[in-house]
Every structure is written in C-alpha cells, then in structure tokens.
Chain A
Amino acid sequence: MNNIPGIEIIQFPFNLLTEVGTLLSNHYPTTIIFSDQEANPIIKEWVDTTDDNKVDRFFFYKTSKLNLKKFIDGEISHIDLINSSKSQYVVFQDITIDDDIVKITISSLSEIPLNYKPSNDFFFHSKDGVDVEDIKKYFDLDNLEINDNFLYEVRKIAEYNKSETIYIHLKRGKGVGAGNINTEVFGKTLLNFDNLYKNLALDHVLGITRGDISLDAKKNADYLQFTETSLYGERIAASYGFLLRPITTQFDLFGATQSEKIAEIAFNLISKSQTVESLKEEYLLHSGFTLESFKQFLEGIQRFEMKLDLNWFNPINKKEFYEDLDYIKANRIIFDIDNLAITDENEFTEKGKFRAVNCDTRHYHFTSLGEQQYTGYFDKPLKDGLVLITFLDIYEVKVSRRTIKEAGKKEARVVDTIIAYYIDKV
C-alpha cells in the first residue's frame, strides 16, 4: 500500500452516529455513507488492501447533503464529491479483517495519492447503487433544492467587470474533472464555440448570403469587433466553467448591443434546433458557414460525451439567455440536420470584380468589394456576352441563390447563378 503523507493521530476525529447505507457497489462496498450527530454525511471510501488482504485502507471525509445529492443525481463526479469535502482534509484508517485499527492518518485533500482517487469522469449511475433509497430517505435528499451557486458568482463577476458575459459550464464529459480539464477537450470545445460565434456574427453583420470571409486578412479587420471574444475567467465551477466576453463592449443606450443580438441569435439557434419543425425554419435563417460550424460544435459535444450549460448575461440591462446541451441532444440535432430536406431560393446583388470567367462552361469566380468570394455559373442566356467581361471593371451582379438540402446528405448544396450583371458606373 502507498505511504500516506500526513499526521498520524490516535483518535478518530469524526463522530459516526449511524451507518446509513452503502452507495457503491454491490461486488464490494467501496463507498459507504454514515451520518454524524449534526446529520452531516460522512463518507467512507475503500481505497486499498495489503497483498495478503488482511488489512484494508479507507479514508473518511465530511460532505454536505447538497453535494451528496448532486453526486447521486449525476450532477457532479465522484472526484468532485471528494474535493468538495467540508474540511480540506481526509482521515485515512487502516483496519484489519478483525476490525482492529492499525493506523489513523490525517491528510490534506491534495495529498491523496492518485491511485486512491476516482477517474475524473466517473459519475454515479443509479443502477450501480446499493442502498440509495435508504440514503436519500435518511438525509431527505429528494426535498433538497439544488441551486447553482456558481451562476450567482458569475453574475457578480459580469457586473463587477461591466461586461456582457458568456458562461460555458462543462458539467460532464471525457476529461472533465474537478477544477481541471483535458487540454484537448477544452481547446476543441472553446475553438468550436468561437468558430460558431464568429460565423453567427458575420451572418448578423453581412447577411446570410455572404460569401466566405477570411478574418485573418487585414482588410477584414473591421469585422473583428463583432466576431472576437476573449476568455477572462475559468474554473468557476467544481467541474469546469469559463467566461468569455465580446472584445468590444457597447453600452446599450440606444437598444440592444450588437453582441447581445448575436448572442440572442446563437441561443435561438440552439433552442430551435431541438425540434424538427422549428429546425426547418431556423435552418433558412443562417448561412451554410454558420450551419457547418454549428454542426462542428455539436459533433465536439457528441465526441467528448459532454453535458454543458450556456449562459449569457448583460449586467447593464440584466438580460439573460440560457441553454443546455448534452451529447444525446447533440446527436439528435445532427441527425435532424442531416435528414432535413429543404430547398430555398433567394436573390441578392453584390458589387465587385470578376477574378475568373470561363466563356465555354460559364463558370465564374467573383470577389465582392467586401472581399467575399463567390463561385458558380452564369445563367445560360448570358453566355454570349461573357467574352466582353473585363477583370478591371467593377460590376454589379444579381445572384440567384438556390440552397438544396437533401435528406440523408450532411451538407446543403448552394448554387449561385448570376442572372444579370452590369458595369458599375459611378
């Protein structure tokens, strides 16, 4: 067995009034719940045994009924439960099979050996429980309300910083733990959300008929005030939470800020994706780029088996948005998107220059004055005039866009046909 760093003591510091029941597991009791005289749950965790199985090692810690309920309800992981110990220490006890106490050691939470801790992503499942009903009844857990105290803290942070704030709370998932998170999981989730936010912002500013835009280009720097966010707080919650804010904060003297409008669009997209009927309508309100980035965000949630909450606060007007997603919902939304069958047509005009024209096939490549890229075909009747197109003149083009999303196809096909064009004479 490991050496335990800590102080050896003579008297066991907890007053165990009653053994309430075994929480885990049926094969061998490894998490047993006691109560002290103040009706606090004291948890006994089996962690090790000697090679000859004659001495078992346990550690004890005191927790709150709320944390115990959260663990039983699957809201927090087992390591979260241990780390939420009311005191910041645990008490190790080595006991023989004849119930003789060999040693008692008091040790800090941070000193618990790694092989004595549960994996970050181990959560309680009711089918694993043994005396769950007895435990719930004893501590009256069903009548306890779980308030998310972290949300309150986050609102305070937003108010203190006078900043619109997006709070993303990764409650569960592969590599999501108590105050720490797997780097890849965190990085990819953050990037996927950032990509989604950027595309929603560009749709909002430029319209959904926009072309592909490279935000790295200097000429597109003006868009950054809408698309960029910064990370300004993390590890707010026991699992993993972090705060983002738009890089430009606009005080809403004259109505909602651009970032509030973008946030509202984002939360509507998530909310309305959850039924097929509303998804069909919502699908047509976004560009293909946004929908692709939304799918990527969902695929990340699915891949890492995540459960997360998204909140948005405006500390000035106190407006809030909230949505929650998990990998089951994400899977369903992706399935629904893939199986949508929609055809949509609309027309728009753009000014810019042609970069390439094929007079035989009628294929074109067009760059708008706003540096958006479009490709497609000229309408057939325009074929004869293509030879006269120059690459120096600025043209105004009228585009008929057909968006075809077939059931079973993951992506929609976008066909941009130029139906008219004129040299722009200022």
Chain B
Amino acid sequence: MANRFLFFSSSVFALFFVALQPRQEYVYFMPLKYQKEIEQLNPDFTGFSEVEERTSYRWVFEGNDPRNFLPIYKIDEKRYKREVEKGKANFRGWALSFYQSEEDAKKELLYWVKDKPEKFKKLGTHISKGNIIKEDGLCEESCDERGHFDHFENINVELYGRFEIVQKVAG
C-alpha cells in the first residue's frame, strides 16, 4: 500500500512539476562579461551555445595591444553611446569577432583594406589562433558566408595569452 502511494505521488509530481511545465527558453546562468549592457539591448542568443573546443582565428595587433580582445563597444564607447541614443545599438557589439579559418580571417581583413588601405590601423595587423572552450562563454554555432562568428565571453575569462600570432597581414 505504501509502495503504491509512493508510486502514485511520484507520478503526480512528475506530471505536474516536470512534464507539464511550460518549456523554458535557454537559460544561461554563468554571467557574461558586459552582462548588464547586453541585457539592455534585447539579446537573442538563438544559435549560440557553449562549445567543447573550437579552433578560432582573430585579427589582433602585435604585442600587448589592449584592443586585441575587447569588443567594439568597449574599444569605442562613444560609438556605443551614440548608437544607443539613436536606437541602433546591437547586442553583438559586446561580442568578440572570430573566423573559422586563417584563410577566412586574412581574406576578410584584406577585403576591407582594399576599401581603406589604412584600415588595418583600426582592425588589426596580424591573425592570431587559439581555442575557445566550453568555459569561455557563448559561441555562435554557425559562421556566415565569410567564415565569421561572434563569441560572448564569460565573466573572468581572459582569452588574451591563449591566442598566438600566426601571420602578419598588413601594416
């Protein structure tokens, strides 16, 4: 009798508190870097997740340039404020840009230098390579046609030091 009661109450519990619960959106508990700013821009993390390990490539400057692993809104805070005022700010401005291959990263940098030969002074002069792992934050699962993807760092993650320069492209 007691077993039957236990089984019945477990079933009720399972039914009401698990199976019949409304589906929740992806809930990410680890705070991201710039979490507060990101939340103000109606972020949509569809297509983002933690990755086990992903080899990634990024435009950097030589040496310990502080811009190397900062998102564009952190590098240019005036731009962020301007875009917020105009209602044009995008949560992806708080992400870091990466490329899936060295070739893609180089091709894209050279493409922009074709339009503005001095643009490497703003974008980067070298390609660096490193691995993004699960603990690093939320990574865009797929790339665009240019091999680019965004990555939102977890708070306290420091990618600097884990990426090494593989090629000089400009400058």
Contact = CB atoms under 8 A, between A and B. Distances in A.
Interface string A1-37: 0000000000000000000000011011110000000
Contacts of B115: 24-25, 30, 78, 118-119, 122
Nearest to B123: A27
Chain B interface residue count: which class?
A: 10 to 19
Contact of B72 (A27, A47, A53, A115): A27
B157 to A, nearest CB: 22
Contacts of B79: 29
Contacts of A28: 72, 76, 119, 122-123
A131 interface: yes
B88 A46 contact: no
B97 interface: yes
B141 interface: no
B116 A49 contact: no
B116 A30 contact: yes
A412 to B, nearest CB: 38
Interface string A346-364: 0000000000000000000
Interface string A61-105: 000000000000000001000000000000000000100000000
Given A28-B72, A131-B88, A49 B122 contact: yes
Nearest to B108: A27
B118 A116 contact: yes
A186 to B, nearest CB: 21
Interface string B104-143: 0000000010111111011100000000000000000000
Interface string B60-96: 0000000000001000101100000000100000000
A133 B116 CA distance: 23
Contact of A118 (B78, B97, B116, B122): B116
A159 interface: no
A47 B118 contact: yes
Given A27-B97, A131-B88, A53 B121 contact: yes
Contacts of B119: 28, 30, 46
A27 B112 contact: yes
Interface string A107-127: 000000011111101100001
Contacts of A127: 145
Contacts of B118: 47-49, 115-116
A28 to B, nearest CB: 4
A118 B78 CA distance: 26
Contacts of A46: 116, 119, 122
B121 A118 contact: no
A34 to B, nearest CB: 14
Contacts of A47: 116, 118
A320 to B, nearest CB: 36
Nearest to A51: B121
Given A30-B116, A97-B78, A118-B115, 18 more contacts: A25-B115, A27-B72, A27-B122, A28-B72, A28-B76, A28-B119, A28-B122, A29-B79, A30-B119, A45-B116, A46-B116, A46-B119, A49-B118, A114-B117, A115-B117, A118-B114, A119-B115, A131-B88
22 contacts: A25-B112, A27-B112, A27-B122, A27-B123, A28-B76, A28-B122, A30-B115, A30-B116, A45-B116, A46-B119, A48-B118, A49-B122, A53-B121, A78-B115, A114-B117, A115-B117, A117-B117, A119-B114, A121-B114, A122-B115, A127-B145, A131-B88
Which 4 pairs, one residue from A and one from B, show the smallest C-beta to C-beta distance?
A119-B114, A115-B117, A28-B122, A48-B118
